[in-house]
Amino acid sequence: MPRQDLVGKRFGRLEVVAFSHGRYWRCLCSCGTPCVVRATNLVSQHVRSCGCLRREVTAARRTTHGHARGGRVIPEFFVWNTMLQRCLNKKNARYKDYGGRGIIVTKRWMKFENFLADMRRRPSPAHSIDRKNNDKGYYKRNCRWATRSQQQLNTRRQSRKLEKAA
């Protein structure tokens, strides 16, 4: 059976540029990556790119807030996630100090986009989230980005020492 000439034809993001061997064709993806694909996979549209399409679709599916680049999320996402875990996850080692004693997260901050809109990006890697009043929950007016030294001046432990000394 004669081989069908596929040179010059486009299948998804792949353009066939030459015959390779057996049933395989050399293709050039629209992203610029060359690849070799079996003819039946091209014709059936089973293969439509060099793999870049799958990576793009996966990244789009996993990214809802638009703040991930190259599969990595911004540091504020980890701060947000850790905050939620401390307050909501009873299996979290720190739950007893947060959710277990009534520290809550405002409903608005259940979505990362809202947390980021209210808190904005942290000023530097040395900053982490801090509650101004440690007996109140996580919400915009009670939270700030603070350095370790600022946070050490604002702890329950520090408050107890001051009370005993007085």
Shared domain for 76 and 128, answered yes or no, is yes
Average pLDDT (137-149) is 96
- Whether 77 and 30 map to the same domain: the answer is no
CB 49 within 8 A of CB 14: yes
Range of the domain at 154: 71-165
* pLDDT top residue among 145 and 157: 145
pLDDT tens digits along 79-133: 999 999 999 999 999 999 999 999 999 999 999 999 999 999 999 999 999 999 9
111 and 92 co-located in one domain: yes
Tell me, yes or no, whether 50 and 79 share the same domain: no
SS3 labels along 98-140: CHHHCCCECHHHHCHHHHHHHHCCCCCCCCEEEECCCCCCECH
How many structural domains does the chain have?
Answer: 2
pTM for the model stands at: 0.57
pLDDT digit string, tens, across residues 12-58 = 999 999 999 999 999 999 999 999 999 999 999 999 999 999 988 87
